[in-house]
Homo-oligomer: A and B are copies of this chain.
Protein backbone atom coordinates (compact mmCIF):
# COMPACT_ATOMS: atom_id res chain seq x y z
CA UNK A 1 0.00 0.00 0.00
CA UNK A 2 2.89 2.40 -0.70
CA UNK A 3 1.94 5.80 -2.08
CA UNK A 4 1.08 5.66 -5.78
CA UNK A 5 1.55 2.00 -6.31
CA UNK A 6 1.81 1.19 -9.98
CA UNK A 7 -1.35 -0.96 -9.93
CA UNK A 8 -4.86 0.40 -10.40
CA UNK A 9 -6.00 -0.87 -7.04
CA UNK A 10 -3.44 1.11 -5.05
CA UNK A 11 -4.04 4.22 -7.16
CA UNK A 12 -7.79 3.93 -6.57
CA UNK A 13 -7.27 3.69 -2.82
CA UNK A 14 -5.11 6.80 -2.75
CA UNK A 15 -7.47 8.70 -5.06
CA UNK A 16 -10.46 7.81 -2.88
CA UNK A 17 -8.73 8.89 0.33
CA UNK A 18 -7.68 12.19 -1.24
CA UNK A 19 -11.17 12.94 -2.56
CA UNK A 20 -12.94 11.95 0.66
CA UNK A 21 -10.64 14.31 2.55
CA UNK A 22 -11.15 17.16 0.06
CA UNK A 23 -14.88 16.92 -0.66
CA UNK A 24 -16.23 14.65 2.03
CA UNK A 25 -17.16 11.00 1.67
CA UNK A 26 -20.83 11.67 0.84
CA UNK A 27 -19.99 14.13 -1.91
CA UNK A 28 -17.57 11.88 -3.77
CA UNK A 29 -18.66 9.57 -6.59
CA UNK A 30 -17.06 6.43 -7.96
CA UNK A 31 -16.69 8.20 -11.32
CA UNK A 32 -14.60 10.93 -9.68
CA UNK A 33 -12.40 8.40 -7.90
CA UNK A 34 -11.78 6.51 -11.14
CA UNK A 35 -11.00 9.74 -12.98
CA UNK A 36 -8.53 10.89 -10.32
CA UNK A 37 -6.82 7.48 -10.41
CA UNK A 38 -6.69 7.57 -14.20
CA UNK A 39 -8.70 4.38 -14.67
CA UNK A 40 -12.20 3.56 -15.88
CA UNK A 41 -15.20 3.04 -13.61
CA UNK A 42 -15.18 -0.55 -14.76
CA UNK A 43 -11.69 -0.96 -13.33
CA UNK A 44 -12.93 0.50 -10.05
CA UNK A 45 -15.68 -2.10 -9.85
CA UNK A 46 -13.24 -4.87 -10.71
CA UNK A 47 -11.44 -4.05 -7.44
CA UNK A 48 -14.17 -2.80 -5.10
CA UNK A 49 -17.90 -3.39 -4.63
CA UNK A 50 -18.60 0.29 -3.91
CA UNK A 51 -17.02 3.49 -2.64
CA UNK A 52 -17.35 2.35 0.96
CA UNK A 53 -15.37 -0.84 0.43
CA UNK A 54 -12.31 1.08 -0.75
CA UNK A 55 -11.83 2.10 2.86
CA UNK A 56 -12.14 -1.44 4.19
CA UNK A 57 -10.13 -3.22 1.52
CA UNK A 58 -7.32 -3.92 4.00
CA UNK A 59 -9.55 -5.50 6.64
CA UNK A 60 -9.21 -9.01 5.26
CA UNK A 61 -5.41 -8.91 5.20
CA UNK A 62 -5.36 -7.43 8.69
CA UNK A 63 -7.60 -10.19 10.04
CA UNK A 64 -5.54 -12.86 8.32
CA UNK A 65 -2.29 -11.51 9.75
CA UNK A 66 -3.76 -11.23 13.24
CA UNK A 67 -5.30 -14.69 13.20
CA UNK A 68 -2.25 -16.47 11.76
CA UNK A 69 0.08 -14.73 14.21
CA UNK A 70 -2.08 -15.77 17.16
CA UNK A 71 -2.36 -19.31 15.78
CA UNK A 72 1.42 -19.59 15.49
CA UNK A 73 2.36 -17.85 18.74
CA UNK A 74 4.36 -20.07 21.15
CA UNK A 75 2.08 -22.51 22.96
CA UNK A 76 3.62 -21.47 26.25
CA UNK A 77 2.04 -18.01 25.95
CA UNK A 78 -1.17 -17.33 27.88
CA UNK A 79 -4.06 -16.70 25.44
CA UNK A 80 -4.26 -12.96 26.14
CA UNK A 81 -0.52 -12.66 25.51
CA UNK A 82 -0.83 -14.60 22.27
CA UNK A 83 -3.50 -12.08 21.24
CA UNK A 84 -1.16 -9.24 22.17
CA UNK A 85 1.53 -10.71 19.89
CA UNK A 86 -1.04 -10.75 17.07
CA UNK A 87 -2.03 -7.14 17.75
CA UNK A 88 1.61 -6.10 17.68
CA UNK A 89 2.02 -7.76 14.28
CA UNK A 90 -1.04 -5.92 13.01
CA UNK A 91 0.42 -2.76 14.50
CA UNK A 92 3.63 -3.17 12.51
CA UNK A 93 1.51 -3.05 9.35
CA UNK A 94 -0.17 0.16 10.56
CA UNK A 95 3.15 1.67 11.52
CA UNK A 96 4.46 1.13 8.00
CA UNK A 97 1.51 3.00 6.49
CA UNK A 98 0.87 5.50 9.25
CA UNK A 99 -0.08 8.47 7.05
CA UNK A 100 -2.63 6.47 5.05
CA UNK A 101 -4.09 4.80 8.15
CA UNK A 102 -4.53 8.15 9.88
CA UNK A 103 -6.25 9.73 6.88
CA UNK A 104 -8.54 6.74 6.64
CA UNK A 105 -9.38 6.91 10.35
CA UNK A 106 -10.26 10.60 10.09
CA UNK A 107 -12.68 9.94 7.23
CA UNK A 108 -14.34 7.05 9.06
CA UNK A 109 -14.66 9.05 12.28
CA UNK A 110 -16.55 11.76 10.42
CA UNK A 111 -19.19 9.54 8.76
CA UNK A 112 -21.75 7.53 10.79
CA UNK A 113 -22.27 4.97 8.00
CA UNK A 114 -18.54 4.26 7.98
CA UNK A 115 -18.32 4.05 11.77
CA UNK A 116 -21.05 1.39 11.61
CA UNK A 117 -19.10 -0.52 9.02
CA UNK A 118 -16.00 -0.33 11.19
CA UNK A 119 -17.92 -1.79 14.14
CA UNK A 120 -19.04 -4.70 11.98
CA UNK A 121 -15.50 -5.35 10.80
CA UNK A 122 -14.33 -5.34 14.41
CA UNK A 123 -17.07 -7.79 15.41
CA UNK A 124 -15.97 -10.08 12.60
CA UNK A 125 -12.33 -9.73 13.74
CA UNK A 126 -13.37 -10.69 17.25
CA UNK A 127 -15.24 -13.78 15.99
CA UNK A 128 -12.23 -14.89 13.90
CA UNK A 129 -9.96 -14.38 16.90
CA UNK A 130 -12.27 -16.46 19.11
CA UNK A 131 -12.14 -19.29 16.56
CA UNK A 132 -8.34 -19.24 16.59
CA UNK A 133 -8.20 -19.25 20.38
CA UNK A 134 -10.56 -22.24 20.40
CA UNK A 135 -8.17 -24.06 18.07
CA UNK A 136 -5.37 -23.19 20.50
CA UNK A 137 -7.29 -25.26 23.06
CA UNK A 138 -9.19 -22.54 24.95
CA UNK A 139 -12.80 -23.38 25.88
CA UNK A 140 -15.48 -21.66 23.78
CA UNK A 141 -16.65 -19.18 26.44
CA UNK A 142 -13.10 -18.24 27.49
CA UNK A 143 -12.12 -17.89 23.82
CA UNK A 144 -15.01 -15.47 23.13
CA UNK A 145 -14.20 -13.42 26.20
CA UNK A 146 -10.48 -13.25 25.43
CA UNK A 147 -11.22 -12.30 21.81
CA UNK A 148 -13.62 -9.54 22.89
CA UNK A 149 -11.08 -8.19 25.32
CA UNK A 150 -8.35 -8.41 22.69
CA UNK A 151 -10.53 -6.44 20.29
CA UNK A 152 -11.17 -3.85 22.99
CA UNK A 153 -7.42 -3.47 23.53
CA UNK A 154 -6.97 -3.13 19.79
CA UNK A 155 -9.54 -0.31 19.58
CA UNK A 156 -8.08 1.54 22.53
CA UNK A 157 -4.48 1.17 21.34
CA UNK A 158 -5.52 2.27 17.86
CA UNK A 159 -7.28 5.39 19.15
CA UNK A 160 -4.27 6.29 21.26
CA UNK A 161 -1.89 5.69 18.38
CA UNK A 162 -3.90 7.91 16.03
CA UNK A 163 -4.05 10.70 18.61
CA UNK A 164 -0.47 10.28 19.83
CA UNK A 165 1.71 13.31 19.36
CA UNK A 166 4.82 11.56 20.65
CA UNK A 167 4.96 9.13 17.74
CA UNK A 168 5.00 6.11 19.97
CA UNK A 169 4.88 2.73 18.24
CA UNK A 170 1.57 0.92 17.95
CA UNK A 171 3.08 -2.19 19.56
CA UNK A 172 4.06 -0.16 22.60
CA UNK A 173 0.53 1.20 22.98
CA UNK A 174 -0.84 -2.36 22.77
CA UNK A 175 1.47 -3.39 25.63
CA UNK A 176 0.49 -0.33 27.67
CA UNK A 177 -3.21 -1.00 27.15
CA UNK A 178 -2.77 -4.64 28.10
CA UNK A 179 -0.85 -3.70 31.25
CA UNK A 180 -3.58 -1.21 32.09
CA UNK A 181 -6.18 -3.92 31.55
CA UNK A 182 -4.31 -6.23 33.88
CA UNK A 183 -4.20 -3.47 36.50
CA UNK A 184 -7.88 -2.64 36.01
CA UNK A 185 -9.05 -6.23 36.35
CA UNK A 186 -6.78 -6.82 39.31
CA UNK A 187 -8.85 -4.05 40.95
CA UNK A 188 -5.99 -1.58 41.21
Choice from B79, B148, B177, B188 contacting A155 with Cβ under 8 Å: B148
A187 touches B78 (CB 8 A): yes
- Given A152-B148, A156-B148, A185–B187 Cβ distance below 8 Å? no
CA distance A186 to B80 in the complex (A): 9
CA A153 – CA B155 in complex, angstroms? 16
- Interface positions of A (Cβ within 8 A of B): 78-81, 115-116, 119-120, 123, 141-142, 144-146, 148-149, 151-153, 155-156, 159-160, 177-178, 180-182, 184-188
Q: Which residues of B contact A80 (CB under 8 A)?
A: 184-185, 187
In the complex, the answer to whether B177 meets A145 with C-beta atoms within 8 Å is yes
How many copies of the shown chain assemble into the complex? Answer: 2
The A interface is mostly helix, strand or loop, or mixed, namely helix
In the bound complex, do residue B181 and residue A141 qualify as a contact, i.e. CB atoms below 8 Å apart?
no
Point out the residues of chain B lying under 8 angstroms from A160, CB to CB. 141
Q: Which of B145, B180, B182, B185 contacts A141 (CB 8 A)?
A: B180
Q: Please state if B149 and A180 are interface contacts (CB–CB under 8 Å).
A: no
Q: List 20 A-B contacts (CB under 8 A).
A: A115-B123, A116-B119, A116-B120, A119-B120, A141-B156, A141-B160, A141-B177, A142-B184, A144-B156, A145-B152, A145-B177, A146-B184, A148-B156, A149-B152, A151-B152, A152-B152, A178-B185, A181-B185, A182-B186, A185-B185
